[in-house]
């Protein structure tokens, strides 16, 4: 390499880059050359060992069937210690593989079997978590309580501290809104924050008659519904709000709470509102939507049939693509009037 660099008047680094050889590899070769160990040592070829005898094979298979949870290495040395067969782990592995005895351990239960079933009614499971919220000139702590079934934001408070007593007060205020409760419900899902592992919190949950569920450590996905709500707070609810003081922040959160619960379609709820699942009848709302869509389809069919008859009388050529027809103001008004004359379904009392 030094000779090449001298002849070509190029540095060693340039030559190595052109040869696509790393610098570390070159200097490792150079060090081995200085120690006269540049040529790789030849490893003598190992002679194949003698195969196990039929008696040894039978002993391995019988011992493996008697100990189905034992791995082949432990099995091999245990048999040596018990003077049953004197084989190395590799030989035992080949015997077990030939006899199809390697995959003997029963599979573990999958995660869905250990995951609790999702809630099937309101106020069965509540998710609780805290979110940092900067309100000029300091940080505040938003405590949210979300219903797991309906994604309804049951209650929230904006606090100056994140102490356990304020979190318990928030839960107590949410519980007082319920007219009826089932024993052990709602189950309160939370992380391992200092507020939820204290002795005071455990005593509060026991006195309140609620359930207590801790998520996995360092696994925010276990409380993912509330984590997603906090993301929605930041990206949608408070993005254009003036929260330069505490009063403005509370007013902004109150407006957002009303919009989120009562007017915002939720993608996880078939684009119904959380209140429709929390205190309403989601199936009735979906039936109302289907009725409106059917009424709109009927109105469009009537319109295009009338349009085709009018074109036939006037001798005009019918448009092959109705989606590109430019409607006159009169005809567009007729279609709008037909669509919006759908019968209105009165919602039940959601309180």
Task: Quick: pLDDT tens for 183-222.
Answer: 999 999 999 999 999 999 999 999 999 999 999 888 888 8
Residue 255: which of 240, 245, 277, 271 has the closest Cα?
A: 240
What span, in angstroms and rounded, lies between the C-alpha atoms of 80 and 86?
Answer: 5
Q: Does the pTM exceed 0.85?
A: no
Check pLDDT > 80 for residue 47: no
Residue 87: how many CB atoms within 10 A of its CB?
A: 23
For residues 43, 48, 49, 55, the Cα torsion angle rounded to the nearest 10 degrees is 160
Strand 211-214: give its sheet, edge to edge.
153-159, 138-147, 125-135, 187-190, 211-214
Token output for 115? 């995951």
Q: Say how many C-beta atoms besides its own lie within 10 A of residue 282's C-beta.
A: 15
CA Rg value for the chain: 37
DSSP string, 215-254: PPTT-GGGGHHHHHHHHHIIIIISTT---SSHHHHHHHHH
Say if residue 332's pLDDT is above 60: no
Q: Tens digits of per-residue pLDDT, 256-296?
A: 999 999 999 999 999 999 999 999 999 999 999 999 999 98
């Amino acid at each position: 390499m030094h000779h090449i660099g001298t002849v070509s008047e190029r540095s060693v680094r340039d030559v190595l880059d052109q040869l696509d050889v790393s610098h570390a590899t070159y200097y490792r070769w150079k060090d081995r050359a200085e120690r006269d160990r540049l040529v790789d040592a030849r490893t003598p070829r190992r002679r194949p060992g003698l195969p196990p005898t039929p008696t040894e094979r039978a002993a391995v298979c019988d011992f493996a069937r008697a100990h189905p949870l034992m791995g082949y290495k432990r099995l091999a040395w245990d048999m040596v210690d018990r003077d049953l067969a004197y084989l190395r782990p590799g030989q035992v592995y080949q015997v077990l593989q030939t006899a199809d005895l390697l995959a003997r351990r029963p599979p573990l239960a999958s995660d869905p079997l250990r995951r609790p079933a999702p809630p099937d009614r309101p106020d069965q499971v509540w998710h609780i978590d805290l979110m940092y919220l900067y309100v000029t000139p300091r940080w505040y702590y938003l405590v949210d309580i979300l219903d797991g079934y309906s994604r309804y934001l049951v209650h929230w408070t904006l606090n100056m501290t994140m102490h356990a007593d304020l979190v318990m007060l928030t839960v107590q205020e949410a519980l007082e809104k319920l007219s009826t409760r089932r024993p052990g419900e709602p189950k309160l899902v939370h992380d391992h924050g200092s507020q939820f592992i204290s002795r005071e919190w455990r005593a509060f949950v026991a006195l309140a008659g609620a359930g207590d569920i801790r998520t996995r450590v360092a696994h925010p996905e276990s409380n993912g519904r509330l984590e997603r709500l906090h993301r929605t707070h930041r990206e949608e609810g408070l993005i254009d709000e003036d929260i330069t003081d505490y009063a403005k922040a509370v007013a902004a959160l109150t407006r957002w709470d009303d919009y989120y619960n009562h007017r915002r379609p939720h993608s996880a709820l078939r684009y119904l509102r959380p209140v429709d699942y929390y205190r309403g009848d989601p199936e009735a709302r979906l039936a109302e939507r289907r009725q409106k869509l059917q009424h709109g389809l009927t109105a469009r069919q009537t319109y295009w049939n009338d349009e085709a008859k009018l074109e036939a009388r006037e001798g005009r050529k019918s448009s092959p693509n109705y989606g590109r027809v430019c409607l006159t103001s009169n005809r567009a008004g007729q279609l709008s009037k037909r669509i919006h004359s759908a019968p209105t379904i009165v919602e039940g009392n959601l309180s």
